[in-house]
Amino acid sequence: MSFPHTKAAAAAVLSAGLLLGAIPLTASAVEDDDADRAPVSASPLAADERSNAAATALMTMYNDESGLFRNNDWWTGANALTAIMDNMADGGVQDHAYAIARTYDLNIDAHGGDFTNEYLDDTGWWGLAWVKAYDLTGDTRYLGTARADAAHMADYWTDQCGGGVQWKTDDSYKNAVTNELYLQLNAALHNRIEGDTFYLQEAQKEWEWFQNSGMINSADMINDGLGDNCANNGRPTYTYNQGIILGGLAELHRATGDDSLLDTARALAAASTTSPGIHTNGILHEPGGDGTPCDSDGGSFKGAYVRGLGDLNQSLDDRPYSQYLDRQADAAYHNARNDEGFYGSDWSGPVNETSHQCQQSALDVLNAAAADGAGTSSGEVRGVDGKCLDVDGGATADGTQIQLWTCHTGLNQYWTLPGDGTIRALGKCLDVDGAATADGTQIQLWTCNGTGAQQWQPHSDGTLRNPNSGKCLDAEGGGPWNDGTRALLWTCHTGPNQKWTLP
């Protein structure tokens, strides 16, 4: 696939109405104890056309010369790039992938290097952006930069107010956004680094401090930070402070399996999704209403909120916030979008002005709504002896063997069934080699292409059948089925090595 390398190219795509759908890219997990592993993504096959159009419009604001978005704003650029990558991960417009490396290459040495600067929250935003870039590409330089960002933030954890990361390198203020980002970044790094204990300890230390800091008020809303007396300062409950924590707790739950984290996240989300202080007629806005200028930091806040809420929603079996996210997305699309496809800050309308910040927030809510597509399920595919369907070594190359392996929660055992007949992992499809029909044909990972070689039908007898061949997904041989047993195509016989439990 060729990528347009200018905003003019993106504008041409937008004006032509080309809403490109393609295959989601992501990184892999590996069996090797020393290797990095990528995270689970519960996104469905494709972002809907609304988010694709919003992403394409946002990319017209990308500055190819600076590798940032309009006005070269720093932390909001990290959020805009993250929204673009989320759209890609949901199967959206893959032509925007070039911006990942371009942003990185042009800015790796800016400010303090490695996307650090004097604002520790800015550093956290960039760290999470590079985690997302690693998820999409598998390029470990992005993960390395995210680790450098976490280290920079860790240097400013102080004993004032009992702990926490301060807001700036030269300002001891302890605020919510910086510490929520530190929680999420460390939990995310743990979930991508095999055998890690350090980042998990940092994430748990942060959460222990944060939940007892007093920033969460009696209404389960999070104020801006702590005063000089280390008590809640009563400053506004900005929307992003309500959202980052949800993504952070979902990430930490994945690391630990501690259901109390999701219980706490539910309580916080129940408060923020119904708070009259940040809603009018059920539509989200900043405290005090949405006269927020699009070209200000506040233009990005709502996007961060719905992104975190969406992450939590995907972590909960009952998807309790789907209707809320749909309502916000519908409001933005119908009320806050102009004829050119650009969005304003007030999702109740009318469009006051546009900028990359407001466009990013709109894209975030459209992404979050699209990611909750009907008919999608994700998780492990379990076979004989309770072993998991596994992508060998977590490799993403076309032709990588599919096998059985002891279940371990890595992304190379995390499969998505988006409802179109395919079974997907690592951004590619479960595939019959060469669309062959012979017994013993290799089952492999391959770029999704819409052919019959990638169609699978679950049957009531537990088999997974490929209609193109009329044969079944089979774990090789008659046992024992050890780690590394190959997955093959074979005449259906309903034996234990052809029975599969889907997510």
| Calpha distance 410→152 (Å, rounded) | 28
113-172 pLDDT, tens digit per residue, is: 999 999 999 999 999 999 999 988 889 999 999 999 999 999 999 999 999 999 999 999
Task: Give residue 497's pLDDT band: very low, low, confident or very high (50, 70, 90).
Answer: very high
Nearest-CA neighbor of 47 among 79, 20, 74? 20
Most confident of the following: 172-176, 350-354, 422-426: 172-176
| Calpha distance 83→64 (Å, rounded) | 17
Q: Which two tokens stand for residue 196?
A: 């890690």
Query: Does residue 23 carry a pLDDT above 90?
Result: no
Tell me if residue 223 falls in helix, strand or coil. coil
Whether residue 271 contacts residue 239, with contact meaning beta carbons closer than 8 Å, is answered with: no
308-337 pLDDT, tens digit per residue, is: 999 999 888 888 998 899 889 989 999 999
CA distances from 360 to 127, 266, 287, 302, 491 (A): 18, 25, 19, 9, 50
CA distances from 62 to 5, 193, 214, 218, 247 (A): 10, 31, 39, 41, 26
Task: Give residue 303's pLDDT band: very low, low, confident or very high (50, 70, 90).
Answer: very high
Task: Give residue 425's pLDDT band: very low, low, confident or very high (50, 70, 90).
Answer: confident
Nearest-CA neighbor of 29 among 485, 473, 482, 405? 405
CA distances from 405 to 261, 393, 493 (A): 29, 10, 22
**DSSP symbols for 316-362:** STT-TTHHHHHHHHHHHHHHSB-TTS-B-S-TTS------HHHHHHH
| Calpha distance 257→315 (Å, rounded) | 11
Instruction: Specify the range with the lowest mean pLDDT, choosing from 9-23, 53-67, 124-138, 452-466.
Output: 9-23
Predicted local distance difference test score (pLDDT) of residue 27: 28
Task: Give residue 377's pLDDT band: very low, low, confident or very high (50, 70, 90).
Answer: low
Q: Which domains does the chain have, with CATH numbers?
A: 7-374 (1.50.10.20), 378-498 (2.80.10.50)
| Calpha distance 359→174 (Å, rounded) | 29
Tell me if residue 193 falls in helix, strand or coil. strand
Rounded to the nearest integer, the mean pLDDT of the chain is 88
Average pLDDT, integer, range 244-257:
96
Cβ-count burial of 488 within 10 angstroms (0-12 exposed, 13-18 middle, 19+ buried)? buried
178-221 pLDDT, tens digit per residue, is: 999 999 999 999 999 989 999 999 999 999 999 999 999 999 99
| Calpha distance 280→297 (Å, rounded) | 21
Whether residue 347 contacts residue 331, with contact meaning beta carbons closer than 8 Å, is answered with: yes
| Calpha distance 236→289 (Å, rounded) | 12
| Calpha distance 272→284 (Å, rounded) | 10
